[in-house]
């Protein structure tokens, strides 16, 4: 059975989105990319900025409430359905709840072949990227650099502190069991 999902878990500004885009250019078949940021952008402001939804503290810490969890469950089920329907998906995630976050995905993806990838980045490097981007909450990258990996075991870990997204994508691609696309039949003469 060939891999249907690549789940990249890492803290904010660790390089997950860049790795996902690099994978799209390196893999022989089309892969869709989605990320927790896609879900957050889709939330109405009342959920994105409230204690029942998603609350980001002044120090960059993130708390999630029951309304966010309800919508997240639908999001997870939807992506699992897409993978079951034949889509290949690279998911850029942040497991704020560690093993409990991963378990939500494992339940929805039961029976699907998944490559679990830990994307690590030194806290200082992630914080510098966060500051350079200018669109992140200060402190989030440093807070998440290690915490999102606690208690988790991966099929593969990559570290973007000193390795490019393209190099990390090559390491991930080498671990996949995806056959190359079949060549189209020759045109009749």
pLDDT tens for the chain, 189 residues: list them: 588 899 999 999 999 999 999 999 999 899 999 999 899 899 998 888 777 888 887 777 888 889 999 999 999 999 999 999 999 999 999 999 899 999 999 999 999 999 999 999 999 999 999 888 877 778 888 889 999 999 999 999 999 999 999 999 999 999 986 544 444 555 565
Q: How far is CA 113 from CA 35, 61, 82, 174, in A?
A: 19, 32, 13, 16
Report pLDDT for 58: 77
pLDDT at res. 188? 62
d(CA 133, CA 32) in angstroms, rounded, equals 24
Indicate the average pLDDT of the chain. Answer: 89
How far apart are the C-alpha atoms of 55 and 3, rounded to whole Å? 34
Residue 106 pLDDT: 97
Residues with Cβ < 8 Å from 67, sequence gap 6 or more? 47, 50, 52, 53
Domains in the chain with CATH codes: 5-175 (3.40.50.300)
Q: What is the pTM of this model?
A: 0.88
What pLDDT was estimated at residue 50?
Answer: 74
The neighbour count for residue 103, using CB atoms within 10 Å, is 12
pLDDT at position 1 is 58
Could you count the other beta carbons within 10 Å of the beta carbon of residue 59? 11
Active-site residues, by number, are 37
Q: What is the pLDDT of residue 134?
A: 72
């Amino acid at each position: 059975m060939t891999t249907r999902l690549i789940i990249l878990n890492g803290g904010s500004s660790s390089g997950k989105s860049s790795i996902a885009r690099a994978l799209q250019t390196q893999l022989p078949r089309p892969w869709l990319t989605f990320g927790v940021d896609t879900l957050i952008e889709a939330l109405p402001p009342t959920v994105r900025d409230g204690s029942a939804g998603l609350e980001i503290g002044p120090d960059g810490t993130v708390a999630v409430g029951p309304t966010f969890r309800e919508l997240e469950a639908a999001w997870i089920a939807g992506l699992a359905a897409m993978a079951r329907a034949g889509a290949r998906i690279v998911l850029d995630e942040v497991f704020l709840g560690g093993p409990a976050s991963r378990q939500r995905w494992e339940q929805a993806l039961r029976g699907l072949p998944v490559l679990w990838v830990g994307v690590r980045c030194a806290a200082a490097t992630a914080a510098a990227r966060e500051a350079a981007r200018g669109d992140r909450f200060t402190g989030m990258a440093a807070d998440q650099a290690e915490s999102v990996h606690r208690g988790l075991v991966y099929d593969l870990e990559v570290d973007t502190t000193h390795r490019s997204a393209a190099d990390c994508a090559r390491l991930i691609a080498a671990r996949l069991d995806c056959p190359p696309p079949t060549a189209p039949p020759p045109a009749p003469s």
